[in-house]
A and B are shown apart, each in its own frame.
Chain A
């Protein structure tokens, strides 16, 4: 397909490259294919040897058993967590990013360098003290204990600073001369100009929060408070060889987030690329 749109001249090297690329693509898609088809297989088909490549008698048996667990509640917790983390991150990061990019004030360089240094450190290392801190705030086993540390991570500030650099200083100057206050300038001038950045950050935070299994594992414990990732891991620990049921859970965890990614992937890839442009 790609060779026909890309160039007129077909060389053996190009053919080999494209064959390798297609094979790799199959290799990367296959696990997802196996999750989805596996979730519709009955126990006989799941354990069949040779394997059943496509479920000819699809069944909802695995999903029926999945929903005997509080799977919808897990999904609801996960959506709440990811949406709140996303909203709070976008608000705090767009404000802070604007201040760091466009305002000159004492301490600016210091604040920014501390944030950059923190980003270079392994964030999982701080999970032990973070758990102690959450217990201190009485937030242990509460979904907010997962949301708040996600908002604290400085990547968003860094990203929004990059986007805010592009706002022309003359526009801010003009607003000030017209007598617009700081808040009005931010809402009317800054926000519309950094909307692509906020879009990128929103989708980025949503996906990362959804998939941050380790943080969720440390913070949440009681069955009703789990996220979908934790729920699947728990099912796997409880019934390790019931692959049909586990694939149904994996599908429930993966499909919504993949749909979100595909819908907004333009912003997402743009955001990742922008985050790498180091200042």
Chain B
């Protein structure tokens, strides 16, 4: 902040010139700044801003393959909330978020608090291990889990039946009662890598002298965590909650590769249903309207998380 206000005065001093020379310098700086920004801005506008605007605009149109484009106002939005499959997908998506996001946050905090004080090599080892499913890639992870969940050749049924926990093989991904839970488990393993990296970095930044001081005053481990570390890692927690929520809401690839939304829409998510409507049924306008609703839900939830965690940390 100080450097920001200092710069123009400084340059005026250095050049020992009047305001004319100074404003020429400002203009030259502006031109240079925009030239540096230009390539990124071109890509950003063409491939992010333009599609976002198009998404919003087409959501008000009846836009299907081979049909003339007609303006329908909010009809797509009204249709959505009368569409039982959309409502089911909405419910499934919320279950995914409500189960997975807290689980990811709590679990990654536990792992990070346990390993961040360890020897650098051990810490790095665990960090890599928990990051592995992210790097391996959704498709490779999905196909191996599909095999492990397989009713006949899957290792999960073998382990559970040899432990005597199940009497007959379960079709994990083909049963309405278990399919969504399986998706949540895989989603969980592919989601905790980044939060762990973030928490390790955040915990490493907590001022050790504060912890020492608290321990000298007789604080136990829990008190040290709650009164010293927790407030300091709050911004990281907030960031983790927001990115995990955004990612969970967008869960698509696992569904497409493992269950195709089935059985009987038990694993349909909003994202999967959007692309089913847009690319299987070629109803782009309806897909875009659902996309807009999804974006609004995510924006509102992010704002709420900001509010809740933000006000909590000031206490």
Name the one of A98, A211, A258, A261 contacting B138, with C-beta atoms under 8 angstroms.
A211
Name the one of B10, B48, B148 contacting A34, with C-beta atoms under 8 angstroms.
B148
Number of interface residues of B (CB under 8 A): 101
CB of B110, distance to nearest CB on chain A (Å): 9
Task: Please give, as numbers and ranges, the residues of chain A lying within 8 Å of B34 by CB-CB distance.
Answer: 99, 105
Task: Say if the beta carbon of A72 comes within 8 Å of chain B.
Answer: no
Task: Say if the beta carbon of A15 comes within 8 Å of chain B.
Answer: no
Name the CB-closest residue of B to A208: B134
Known: A121-B295, A124-B252. A186 touches B36 (CB 8 A): yes
Task: Please give, as numbers and ranges, the residues of chain B lying within 8 Å of A233 by CB-CB distance.
Answer: 139, 143, 257
Categorize the interface residue count of chain A.
35 or more
Name the one of B11, B47, B144, B275 contacting A151, with C-beta atoms under 8 angstroms.
B47
Task: Say if the beta carbon of B115 comes within 8 Å of chain A.
Answer: yes
Task: Please give, as numbers and ranges, the residues of chain A lying within 8 Å of B118 by CB-CB distance.
Answer: 2, 5-6
Task: Say if the beta carbon of A103 comes within 8 Å of chain B.
Answer: yes
CB of A155, distance to nearest CB on chain B (Å): 11
Task: Please give, as numbers and ranges, the residues of chain A lying within 8 Å of B131 by CB-CB distance.
Answer: 261, 265
Tell me whether A95 and B40 are in contact (CB under 8 A). yes
Task: Say if the beta carbon of A229 comes within 8 Å of chain B.
Answer: yes
Task: Please give, as numbers and ranges, the residues of chain B lying within 8 Å of A111 by CB-CB distance.
Answer: 37, 41
Tell me whether A257 and B143 are in contact (CB under 8 A). no
Known: A122-B298, A124-B252, A269-B197. A246 touches B147 (CB 8 A): yes
How many angstroms between the C-alpha atoms of A251 and B110 in the bound complex?
Answer: 31
- Per the 8 Å Cβ criterion, residues 14-50 of B in contact with A are 14, 26, 29-30, 32-37, 39-41, 43-50
Task: Please give, as numbers and ranges, the residues of chain B lying within 8 Å of A224 by CB-CB distance.
Answer: none
Tell me whether B37 and A95 are in contact (CB under 8 A). yes
Task: Say if the beta carbon of A104 comes within 8 Å of chain B.
Answer: yes
Task: Please give, as numbers and ranges, the residues of chain B lying within 8 Å of A61 by CB-CB distance.
Answer: none
Tell me whether A273 and B253 are in contact (CB under 8 A). no
Known: A6-B122, A31-B133, A95-B36. A128 touches B278 (CB 8 A): yes
Task: Please give, as numbers and ranges, the residues of chain A lying within 8 Å of B256 by CB-CB distance.
Answer: 217
Known: A104-B29, A125-B294. A2 touches B122 (CB 8 A): yes
Name the CB-closest residue of A to B254: A213
Task: Please give, as numbers and ranges, the residues of chain A lying within 8 Å of B133 by CB-CB distance.
Answer: 28, 31
CB of A159, distance to nearest CB on chain B (Å): 12
Known: A105-B29, A115-B44. A243 touches B52 (CB 8 A): no
Mask of A42-78 contacts with B, CB within 8 angstroms, 1/0 = 0000111111000000000000000000000000000
Tell me whether B257 and A121 are in contact (CB under 8 A). no
CB of B46, distance to nearest CB on chain A (Å): 7
Task: Please give, as numbers and ranges, the residues of chain A lying within 8 Å of B37 by CB-CB distance.
Answer: 95-96, 99-100, 111
Tell me whether B138 and A257 are in contact (CB under 8 A). no
A96-B40, A148-B47, A152-B46 known, 13 other contacts, Cβ within 8 Å: A29-B132, A31-B145, A91-B39, A92-B43, A118-B49, A122-B246, A157-B44, A233-B139, A236-B257, A254-B137, A265-B128, A276-B239, A278-B239
Q: Can you name 26 A-B residue pairings with CB atoms under 8 Å?
A: A5-B122, A25-B129, A31-B136, A34-B144, A35-B144, A92-B39, A92-B43, A93-B40, A95-B37, A120-B298, A122-B298, A125-B292, A128-B55, A128-B288, A173-B10, A173-B11, A186-B36, A241-B150, A243-B153, A247-B147, A250-B143, A254-B137, A257-B135, A258-B132, A258-B135, A276-B198
Q: Please provide the 6 A-B residue pairs with the shortest distance between their CB atoms, ordered closest to farther.
A: A152-B47, A273-B201, A96-B40, A129-B54, A99-B36, A125-B291
